Every structure is written in C-alpha cells, then in structure tokens.
Chain A
Amino acid sequence: MAIAPDKTVLVVGGGISGLTATVETAEAGTKVVLVEKNPYLGGRVAQLYRYFPKLCPPYCGLEINFRRIKQNPAITFYTLAEVDNISGSAGNFSVTIKQKPRYVNEKCTACGECVEACPVERPNEFNFGMDNTKAIYLPHELAFPMRYVIDDSYCKGKECAKCVEACKYGAIDLDMKEKTFEVNVEAIIFATGWNPYDATKMDNLGFGKVRNVITNMMMERLAAPNGPTKGKIVRPSDGKEVQKIAFVQCAGSRDENHLNYCSAICCMASLKQATYIREQNPDAEVTIFYIDLRAPGKYEDFYRKVEADEKIKMIKGKVAKIEEDPSTGDPVVTVEDVANLKKIVESFDMVVLATGMEPQTRRNKLPGNVEYEENGFLKVDQPDGVFATGVATRPLDVNTSNQDATAKAIKCIQTLVGGK
C-alpha cells in the first residue's frame, strides 16, 4: 500500500537535509539509497553543540532519525561513499558509487582496543584540527554507524598492523580496497550541503595568523562536551579561560569579494554561542559586531532573551581588521561603530568569526547533468528526475532545511508515480 515500493531514490548526502529526505521518502514506502562521504551520518549538525533557539543537542533528533533508518528495510545507506558517475535519465538513472575502504569490517564491536594499540596520530577534522585522533578512530561517540575507521593517509599499513594484532575479532582488514559499484535508481535528490567559508581568505580578519581568532564552527566544537577541550571554552594560544570575547558577524558573508549573500544562520549562531560563554562564565563579557541582526520570525524571542543579558553588547559596525597583541596574544579588533560614529580599537581574549556557508558544490562539481546558480548553489529547478535540497540550494537553518527536504521528497515521489 506504500507509494512506489518498487522504485528507488538516490539521496546524495547524509547531513540533516539528506537524512530527512531519506526517512521522509522511505516512510512513504519508496526505497532509498543514501550515499554519504564521511564515515558517519549526520553531516554538519553532528558537529554542533546545540541548536538555536532551544539550545538542545542535535543528537537528540539525529538519534530518532537513526532509529527511523534502523527500523526501515526500505533504506540502504553507504558511508565513505561518493557518487562517481551518473548516466541515464529520469526513471532510469545508472549511478556509479565509489566507496573508500574503512579497513574495519562488520565484526567491529566498537570495543576500542585498536586505538590503544595504534601508534600514529592524525589531526581530527571533526574538531577542525584542534586535537588529534589515532589513525584508527571512532569519528565521535554518537557516530552512526558505530564503527571505527582508519585514515589511510596516516596509517602505516601492514608494516605496522598493531591494530590488527590488538583486535580480537578480526575486524581490521588492511587489505580492504576501494569499491566501485552501480545502483539503478529512478530519481536523485542532492543534499550535498556546505562547508564553512575558508576564513584564511579574509586577510584582514587574521584567521590563521592571530592565534586566538577562531571560526564559529570551531566554537561549536570547543563548547561541545565531546570536543577537544571537553566543553571548556578556552583560547587556543594558551588555554586561558575566555573572559572577554567578540563575535564578528558577516565574516565573508554579504561581501562581494567572498560570499555574495547572507548565510542566514550566523546571527542566530552567534547569539547562541554568546549563551555558551555566559553559561560557563558568569563574569564573561561578550561583544557582537554586526551589520544587521537577523533573527527572523519567532527567533526574535531568542534575540530578545540574549539582548537582555547585560554582559552581552551588540554594536553595529563592520570589523576592519584584527591583529595580535604580541605581548598577550590578545586579538585587537578595529571596528567602525557606525551608531556612534567612532572608531573602536579593543582587545579581546578571543574573537569568533561568524563565517558563512559555502555550498559544497561551489568547488566540487557533481557528476551528471546538474545546474548551478552563480554562487555555486544548486538551482531549485533541475533536469527531470533530479532534485536538490537543503543548504545545497541556498543558506538555510536546520528547521527550514528539514521543511525543504520533506517538500522535495514528495516532488521526487511524484515523478515515480507519473503524477499529474
């Protein structure tokens, strides 16, 4: 009684939009193949400490979505996998999927003995390089699937093989090779998501040179209990607790030289992160430098709540530059306070750049016949049988991404039943 139970939809991307597109499609009865390039599902939201405006952990909803996946036989998913080639047309796509070796098979019980044995470390990209993992690692403790993975760019392979020895279960297979396989699907939904804009490109803001300038995504990891500092918000240069912090809005966004659009979420993200600081440290002072504070709809309530905190200041002004005070390591911010027509030069313990969202497809084009708009986002209108959703199409918050993914799921299903 399900809709199109004999048809299959390919969802590319296992972030929040892709997960929603997957479960919403499959719960209508259609088969779904989900392809995710990371070794775990969840995408960017898995890296967030909390969502605005509820300040609730993203894993709460992910857990439910994973349960929906686990109990639904209509869903097949592949991690460490990317779409390599797409041929055919609506109703009959042939898709080549390339899956990188995990080097850990289904015998893995996630016991963790291998990590003890592994002698090599690698920068942990889940924490934006702020700490290291071993070459064999669990992406994070809520990772789904709950299975270890080896980073082969660091692993010494068979010459070491200490992990193989340590594993009682024969779960580690250093001979594992990249796999290529084909799936036939009737329709495709791209939910390829986004990357944080490369903050080093904004020379004046000092990221990469001024040690205590971080990005908003790094802040999420710093505040997260499973992050590099176990949730303690300290500055990178000396591990000092942060007393005085500034947020620089529109770092790259609304800027013709960088991202020619507003990333839609950064104002709310900074307001949220201001609460992380204030919750940890009752004396901390927060300054947010902004152009316009964008808290649309009912988010206004959250804005008002944060604004009411006397230790949080909001100043309209675009930051001109950030330099390091060599004696203290403090970032010194120069900004035009437009409301008071004066230049502010002020030092902080740490500065957070509210960097924007760059579509994944701005730099990495997709295989197949897919259309892009000028910023590299996927156009809403795509060739027959192809759909795009979430931040792949425009900057969106999580809620709207899910709304969009649900809407795209029905559009996609319609093509399978030949609906008019």
Chain B
Amino acid sequence: MEKKVGVYICTDCGIGEALNVEQLQNVANEYKPAVCKVHSFLCSQEGVQEIKNDIQNEGINTLVIAACSMRVNHDVFNFDPMKYVTERVNLREHVVWTQPPNDEKTQLLAEDYLRMGIIRAQKAEPPEPKTAELEKTILVVGGGIAGLSAALEVVKAGYKAVIVEKAPELGGWMRKMYKTLPSKPPYAEPEKSNIEEKIKAVMEHPDIKVYTNSIVVSIEGEPGMFDVTVCSNEAVKMPEIKKPKAEGEEAEAEGEGEEGKAEAKQEEASEEAGPTRYPLPECSAPETFRVGAIVFAIGWKPYDASKLEDLGYGKFKNVVTNVELEEMASNGGIKRPSDGKAVKNAVFIQCAGQRDENHLPYCSSVCCLTSLKQAKYIREANRDAGAFIIYKDMRTPGLYENFYKTMQDDEGVFLLKGELLGMEEAEDGTIKVKVENKLLNRTDVINADLVVLATGMVTNMVPEDREPNKLTPEFIGDIVTKQTDSGPVEELVPVPIALHLKYRQGPEMPHLKYGFPDSHFICFPYETRRTGIYAAGATRHPMDAAQAEMDGAGAALKAIQCIELTSEGKAVHPRAGDMTFPEFYLANCTQCRRCTVECPFGVLDEDEKGTPQEHPYRCRRCGTCMGACPQRIISFKDYSVDMISSMLKEIQVPDDQDFPYIIGFICENDAYPALDMAGINKIQFPPNFRFIRLRCLGGMNLVWIADALSKGVDGVILIGCKFGDDYQCHFIKGSQMANERLGKVQETLDRLMLEADRVELQQLAINEYYRLPEILNQFLEKVKEIGPNPYKGF
C-alpha cells in the first residue's frame, strides 16, 4: 500500500495552551506527510469531517491523530481499520495533563511522541484478512452432565456435535445418583435427576454423533481444523507411563521395559534438542474426523478413600463414602454393608480428606449439600432414624440456604460442629463415633450403624497414580533429568491424560492448581490457554450438577464463538476482533526454540530441527513470540520489532548530561490506562520518560533495549502487569516472560559496557496510577546516580 500520511494535531483540552503547536507542526512536516493540519476541536463533527474529506479528496490512508488517549473518542476517530491505519498520539493525558505547560521539556516530550507516532503509523499496514471456510462441528470430550449439556446447547444453536465418552454408557456420575440437589425455589426437596432425558435427547438428536467406550487418541491442528482421532477401548494400546524413580528408590529390574511400556524418550542430545515426550496411545482401528472447537468435560472422580484409613475406611465394614451411599440408595436402599440391616443412626463426616493439605487442600463445594441430601434419604427410609452431620463449616451458599434450613428443621437431623476424636467398631459392626462437640464444649459419642465419609471431588485430569496436592506446576507430569552437553538439566515431561494433543508444549491443557484446567481469571471464567478448547464442569472446578450444566452451556458458546470469529479471521478473547496475524520470516530462523517455548498459548509447534510451525488460528496476537525472537523474524502488519526500533531511532535524545532520558515500555491493557488515569487526576510526572505501548509486555524484545541504550538513552523501564500466583496478565505470563528476558539483558549491557541497573521492570495494577510518580521518580534518581549514558551524543 502506498502510504499517504495525514497528521492532525488538536489544540483542544489545553494542548494548544501548553505546547508550541507551530513547532509541533514543523516536526510533523519533517516527515513529509501529505497533509498536516491543526484543529482547535478535532473530535467535533467538523474536525472529523475534515479528516474524512482528506481521506476522500487527498487519498490519505494513514492517520496520525495527535490529541487525546486512544481509550477515549474511539467512536469518533473510527476509520475502517481494514483500509486505514489510525495512530493516536496521546498529547493530552500523557503530556499536557501530566507536565507543566509551556515548558521546554514538555515540548520535547510532545515532539518525541509525535515523531514516534508518525513512524509507528508509517510502519503499520492494515491487516490482510485471513478468512476460511472452517469445520463447525464441536467435539465434546466426556459424556457426563457437563458434556451432554454442552452437546445439546451446541445443536440447539444450529451446530453439530460429537461426543466421545470413555465409559460404555453416557451419563457419568449423575446416573449413579439417587437424587440431585433441589434446583428450584423453595429449594427444599431433592429432585430426580434429568440425566436420562438428557441422554435420550442426545441419542435421538440427528446432529449429535456419540462414541461411547472410546477415547480420543490424538488431536492436531487448530480452531476450525482440529483433526481428531478416536479409538475404542478395545483397539487402543495405552503406553504405560513409567515414572522416573524418586531418589533412593531401587532401580527396577531390567527387562521391565517390554512392549507397551514406554519411558519418556530421552534424547542423547545437546541443549538444543526438542522436548522429551511420553508416547501417545496407539490405536489399531482409528477413526479420524475434523472438528472446529472442543469442549473438554472429562469430569471428576471421588477422592481415593483408601487413603482415609484413619477415618475407618477399609478398616470398618460400615464406613462408606458419600458416592457409595448414593449407589446404595439407587440400588434398592441403604443398608449396613456388614449385615444388610437397616440403618438407624448414620453419621456423616464432612470434609473427609478435604480442606486438608495432606489430601485435598481445597473444599469440594458440594459435600455439605450432598450430606444434607443423604441425611434426607436416611430419614425418609426410616422415620426413627437419626442422621448426624459432623462439620467444620456448613457451606450451603446462596439460595441453597433454604435446603439447609429445611433439613435443620427435621428433628432427626443433628448438625454437630466438631472434630472426630476416634472410631471404634463393636462386634456387631456398629461404630462408636467419638466427637468433640465444639459448640457445647463436650465429647459426644454416637453409636452409628453407618458412617458416611463426605469425600471430595478430584478432577479426572489427575492420573490414577498421582496426588492432586503433589502435581508438577503448569503441566501434570514428571521432572526428569536430561543429559546435555552442558551437564544434566531438569525437564518437566507432561503426561498424556485425555486430549492427547500433538502440541509442542505438551499433550494436555495446562492446569492451574490441583489438576484443574481452570481459568485463572475472575472476569473471564472460560479463558483458556489452548485456543478453541474450553474446559467445563467438575473437571475444571469442583461444582454441583446444576452448575456443571450451566458450565457446559457457557463452554459451548465459547466454542461456537471461537469458530465464528476464526472463520472471519478474527482473534478470540482478549484481543477479540484483532485481524492481524504473526508473520514468520523463516529464512533467518536459527531454531533457538524460544518462540515455541514461550508462547503462553502453545500456538507454535516445531519441526525436528526446531523451526516453528505456525498455527495462525491458535494465535491470540499477544506478540510474546515476537518479543522472544532474537532474530526479529516475527512481526504483525501493525506491530513489529522493526517498527519500535524505528520509533527509537526517531526520538531526539538531548546531549544534556543533566537530563536523564528514559524509555518506558508499557502494557497497553493496564499500565497505559493507569497513565491515563494519572493524567485525568493531573498527577505530575518527571518529563524524562517516553512511553511506548506494547500489546503485552511479553512482546518486549531485548533488541529494543540495545537500540535505546546505544542511542544514548540513559535508562529503560518496563511497566507491566503483576505476575506470580495471582498474575494479572491477560496473556497469562507476558510480564513474567519480559522479566525473565531481563535476566539475559546483562549480556547486552556487558557488551555495551553499561550498568544492569539502567534497566528495570515494575509491576503495576491498572488502578495503581497513584504509585506512578514514586516509581518514575525512584527510577529517575537511580539513573541519575548511575550517571549519563556514555553513548550520549554519538
């Protein structure tokens, strides 16, 4: 596209009073724009009309609007992004509202921003649409309540669904439930589950294809074109994962590694070798089809009660779990397992192995309600029976409180806040349960015919032989030691579980904690780190059946949206609608694998040599790969390493030794709005900082630091979102990646013989604008102390 630049400088909102606009115009004219105009009220109808006229009459296609923040007047300066590049230079919030008026330094700041804005616009192109006819069928992995709901919601919206269920029948746990929790006002009576109707609806629906007794053995591709291979349980050969031996453990006898048993393939290789991976399942009768998006709903399993021997499980005959009780109730009634006699007194022990760091550290959310429901079974079977519930906190949130109250009103239900002191089995199988009653400050002894352990929910992401509280971070797997040229290196090898993705970063969804592939975001519960794959139901978070149904519906919408947005060439959340794609100039790739490793969404695969293989529709457009690449081969039409390097070339670093000149790279999602807010509050900043916005701090390329410092810039500050356990980065770990890269910046600085302290990263939340003066002044002081950059003036 032949660039025809129009520069429009607004003098409104104090800009005209604070700055020498004529001088600004001169600066703009250095770049020989086709048009350079000053307007006293650019966001007025007349102002916008003038721009439109220039587009029409002068053929302007690149607009530099030097006025207010890009976050305001978006609807006013709204020119078709497919045809025109619009760059907003923020003279208002980031200059005149944070700097003294008519000051030479304020003027220089504004001029630098204008220069950088013009270059940015010159270097940007409108996106090239990448639309495609895509497959719109949705794969649902798991045929429990969440999966069935997802499939039904999908077809009701006019799409097709395929369900793959491992068990011989659909329905999951809900089929085993005698009754479910009350779902309607007044929330007093447990209800019959609707699972049979759901199964029937699924089986009869012409747009739902069901594979039972089958698993997914591989998935490759990207949204709109995932190729899925399904295999029946009979035809599949699962590789047995041989966990690496813990220290001190005896080496197993040789010859164990016979057929079907596979160890993580250890490469006898250099540091540059690809990742070690466990093999995926093999199938003798595979069936392959294509889908557009995936709902991941493999459900949950009860916590292994055999680990709860101190609660009598496996030791006393009449100790059962809440799941076993449910099955008893469904299959002819609740009896004592020891002798089949009726149950007169039942004791429910809440939080059995839950809220307990040795077992499940979390609360499973539903067990209090489940025990209340089961107490009702006991009471309904025998009006003389007593149900004792021993609890820490009764957790019956929201309108479920009514059910709690209803049960409290039952004279045969006894709620006992307390702690179990001990259990003793009598000859007849009755169990003496000793409880410290915390409300009456005494010891109670209950003779129980049956003790029910309210065990919790473990996501099926956790493989059988692993503990939810002892999983490796990010990916469930094993730490193996790998020999490299530079000595042994520890590597996390993720285990295959259910999706068997042929992705470079591993075969499964990353987990957040305890195996849940949950979203970390409060605002965006369906946020996913594998584009086009949405977790739903108790696999992603402990939840009851009603919530799992809802969750299946929500995930179904996200899957549909993903396909529709992708088919229009648009990104999904959080850059929904972005139509740019990363472009790779592979001729210059050195196979360093940084991009494939660092992408927060596992977008890139790699070939044997380590060259990245693109999957554009998996991309979320954060630019973390761009920041990672030392060869600068990754760019977007409107965002590239060259663009920002060119902007850095244009700034006018003064020779003044007493004026430290600092570049700030800031996240446009949080730090940029924080700067805006500081502006609105007229908080004053030192005039030494020029801020460059990045889509995410993950896009920060070290070459920019070298560019800036070799030009005589005295310091570089990076301001991004908080990272760590409670990270706030919308792209998961962009700011963390930037921080890790800074660890390597020393090398660059050493080469330039500069001090490492000239570069710093600060974490800032969007509402912490009030911290900015302190952060900036402290950094300024630090840079002053270090002294001027010796490259100044070169």
Residues of A within 8 A of B (CB): 1-3, 16, 23-24, 27-29, 49, 51, 53-65, 68, 70-72, 106-107, 109-112, 138, 141-142, 146, 168-169, 224-226, 230-231, 254, 260-264, 292-301, 304, 316, 338-341, 373-375, 377, 379-381, 394-400, 402-404, 406-407, 409-411, 413-414, 417, 419-420
Q: Bound complex: CA of A101 vs CA of B716, how far in Å?
A: 47
Q: Is the CB of A300 within 8 A of B355?
A: yes
Q: Which of B399, B514, B520, B577 contacts A377 (CB 8 A)?
A: B399
Q: Bound complex: CA of A238 vs CA of B158, how far in Å?
A: 62
10 shortest interchain CB distances as A-B pairs: A61-B523, A406-B554, A419-B156, A407-B553, A410-B557, A373-B185, A292-B393, A57-B767, A264-B397, A296-B365
Q: Bound complex: CA of A262 vs CA of B404, how far in Å?
A: 10
Q: Is B753 an interface residue (CB 8 A)?
A: no
Q: Is B98 an interface residue (CB 8 A)?
A: no
Which residues of A sit under 8 angstroms from B550, Cβ to Cβ? Answer: 403-404, 407
Closest to A73 in B: B78
| Min CB–CB distance A95 → chain B (angstroms) | 23
Q: Which of A54, A304, A404 contacts B728 (CB 8 A)?
A: A54
**A-B pairs under 8 A by CB, number:** 249
Closest to B568 in A: A1
Q: Is the CB of B397 within 8 A of A395?
A: yes
Q: Is B182 an interface residue (CB 8 A)?
A: no
If the complex has contacts A3-B564, A56-B765, are A419 and B677 also in contact, measured as CB distance less than 8 A?
Answer: no
Q: Is B726 an interface residue (CB 8 A)?
A: yes
Closest to B417 in A: A316
Q: Is the CB of B72 within 8 A of A169?
A: no
Q: Bound complex: CA of A237 vs CA of B574, how far in Å?
A: 44
Which residues of B sit under 8 angstroms from A261, Cβ to Cβ? Answer: 398-399, 401-402
Q: Is B364 an interface residue (CB 8 A)?
A: yes
Q: Which of B157, B399, B557, B766 has the most CB of A within 10 A?
A: B557
Q: Is B621 an interface residue (CB 8 A)?
A: no
Q: Is B561 an interface residue (CB 8 A)?
A: yes
Q: Which of B71, B153, B365, B525 contacts A414 (CB 8 A)?
A: B153
Which residues of A sit under 8 angstroms from B765, Cβ to Cβ? Answer: 56-57, 60
Closest to B552 in A: A407
Q: Which of B43, B525, B576 contacts A402 (CB 8 A)?
A: B525
Q: Bound complex: CA of A304 vs CA of B356, how far in Å?
A: 10
Closest to A381 in B: B184
| Min CB–CB distance B566 → chain A (angstroms) | 10
Closest to B397 in A: A264
Q: Is B361 an interface residue (CB 8 A)?
A: yes
Q: Bound complex: CA of A417 vs CA of B394, how far in Å?
A: 43
Closest to B722 in A: A56
Q: Is the CB of A402 within 8 A of B523?
A: yes
If the complex has contacts A59-B766, A225-B768, A410-B554, are A374 and B12 also in contact, measured as CB distance less than 8 A?
Answer: no
Q: Is the CB of A296 within 8 A of B363?
A: yes
If the complex has contacts A54-B726, A142-B677, A292-B394, are A297 and B402 also in contact, measured as CB distance less than 8 A?
Answer: no
Which residues of A sit under 8 angstroms from B398, Cβ to Cβ? Answer: 261-264, 394-396
Q: Is the CB of A225 within 8 A of B396?
A: no
Q: Bound complex: CA of A169 vs CA of B73, how far in Å?
A: 15
If the complex has contacts A262-B396, A264-B398, are A63 and B526 also in contact, measured as CB distance less than 8 A?
Answer: no
| Min CB–CB distance B508 → chain A (angstroms) | 19
Residues of B within 8 A of A (CB): 12-14, 41, 43-44, 68, 71-72, 74-76, 153, 155-158, 184-186, 355, 361-365, 393-402, 417, 438-441, 513-514, 516, 518, 520-526, 541-543, 547, 550-551, 553-554, 556-558, 560-561, 564-565, 567-568, 572-574, 576-577, 669-670, 673, 677, 680-681, 721-722, 726, 728, 730, 765-770
Q: Which of A110, A296, A394, A411 has the most CB of B within 10 A?
A: A296
Closest to B726 in A: A54
| Min CB–CB distance B371 → chain A (angstroms) | 14
| Min CB–CB distance B675 → chain A (angstroms) | 12
Closest to A61 in B: B523
Closest to B356 in A: A300
Q: Bound complex: CA of A411 vs CA of B560, how far in Å?
A: 13
Which residues of B sit under 8 angstroms from A419, Cβ to Cβ? Answer: 155-158
Q: Is the CB of B564 within 8 A of A111?
A: no
Q: Bound complex: CA of A297 vs CA of B44, how far in Å?
A: 52
Contacts A403-B547, A407-B554 known; 10 new A-B pairs at CB < 8 A? A27-B573, A59-B673, A70-B74, A71-B74, A141-B680, A297-B362, A297-B541, A395-B398, A414-B156, A414-B157
Q: Bound complex: CA of A394 vs CA of B550, how far in Å?
A: 14
Q: Is the CB of B766 within 8 A of A295?
A: no
| Min CB–CB distance A39 → chain B (angstroms) | 15
Q: Bound complex: CA of A293 vs CA of B363, how far in Å?
A: 12
Closest to B556 in A: A410
Q: Bound complex: CA of A294 vs CA of B558, how far in Å?
A: 30
Closest to B566 in A: A1
Q: Bound complex: CA of A375 vs CA of B400, how far in Å?
A: 13
Which residues of B sit under 8 angstroms from A340, Cβ to Cβ? Answer: 441
Q: Bound complex: CA of A402 vs CA of B75, how far in Å?
A: 26
If the complex has contacts A1-B567, A110-B680, A142-B673, are A56 and B522 also in contact, measured as CB distance less than 8 A?
Answer: yes
Q: Is the CB of A374 within 8 A of B185?
A: yes
Which residues of B sit under 8 angstroms from A107, Cβ to Cβ? Answer: 41, 43-44
16 A-B pairs whose Cβ atoms sit less than 8 Å apart in the complex: A59-B767, A63-B669, A70-B74, A106-B76, A112-B680, A142-B766, A146-B71, A292-B395, A294-B396, A298-B518, A301-B362, A338-B439, A373-B185, A404-B554, A406-B557, A410-B553
Q: Is the CB of B396 within 8 A of A169?
A: no
| Min CB–CB distance A397 → chain B (angstroms) | 8
Q: Bound complex: CA of A417 vs CA of B557, how far in Å?
A: 14
Q: Which of A63, A71, A142, A262 contacts B397 (CB 8 A)?
A: A262
Q: Is the CB of B400 within 8 A of A262?
A: yes
Which residues of B sit under 8 angstroms from A29, Cβ to Cβ? Answer: 564
Which residues of B sit under 8 angstroms from A54, Cβ to Cβ? Answer: 520, 522, 726, 728
If the complex has contacts A141-B680, A414-B153, are A394 and B516 also in contact, measured as CB distance less than 8 A?
Answer: no
If the complex has contacts A60-B766, A297-B364, A419-B155, are A399 and B522 also in contact, measured as CB distance less than 8 A?
Answer: yes
Q: Which of B541, B568, B728 contacts A56 (CB 8 A)?
A: B728
| Min CB–CB distance B365 → chain A (angstroms) | 4
Which residues of B sit under 8 angstroms from A56, Cβ to Cβ? Answer: 522, 722, 726, 728, 765
Q: Which of B14, B355, B363, B730 has the most CB of A within 10 A?
A: B363
Q: Is the CB of B766 within 8 A of A109?
A: no
Closest to A65 in B: B523
Q: Which of B393, B438, B523 has the most CB of A within 10 A?
A: B523
Q: Bound complex: CA of A29 vs CA of B136, how far in Å?
A: 15
Q: Bound complex: CA of A70 vs CA of B362, how far in Å?
A: 39
Closest to A63 in B: B673
Which residues of A sit under 8 angstroms from B574, Cβ to Cβ? Answer: 64, 68
Which residues of A sit under 8 angstroms from B516, Cβ to Cβ? Answer: 298
Q: Bound complex: CA of A396 vs CA of B185, how far in Å?
A: 16
Q: Is the CB of B363 within 8 A of A295?
A: yes
Q: Which of A300, A394, A410 contacts B399 (CB 8 A)?
A: A394
Q: Which of B68, B71, B157, B361 contacts A417 (CB 8 A)?
A: B157
Q: Bound complex: CA of A50 vs CA of B39, how far in Å?
A: 41
Which residues of A sit under 8 angstroms from B567, Cβ to Cβ? Answer: 1
Which residues of B sit under 8 angstroms from A23, Cβ to Cβ? Answer: 576
Which residues of B sit under 8 angstroms from A64, Cβ to Cβ? Answer: 523-524, 573-574, 669, 730
Q: Which of A62, A264, A374, A396 has the most CB of B within 10 A?
A: A264
| Min CB–CB distance B719 → chain A (angstroms) | 14
Q: Bound complex: CA of A402 vs CA of B518, how far in Å?
A: 14
| Min CB–CB distance A255 → chain B (angstroms) | 10
Closest to B725 in A: A54
Q: Is the CB of B526 within 8 A of A406?
A: yes
Q: Is the CB of A399 within 8 A of B576?
A: no
Q: Is the CB of A402 within 8 A of B74?
A: no
Which residues of B sit under 8 angstroms from A230, Cβ to Cβ? Answer: 770
| Min CB–CB distance B673 → chain A (angstroms) | 6
Which residues of B sit under 8 angstroms from A254, Cβ to Cβ? Answer: 401
Closest to A62 in B: B523
If the complex has contacts A56-B765, A60-B765, A292-B393, are A28 and B564 also in contact, measured as CB distance less than 8 A?
Answer: yes
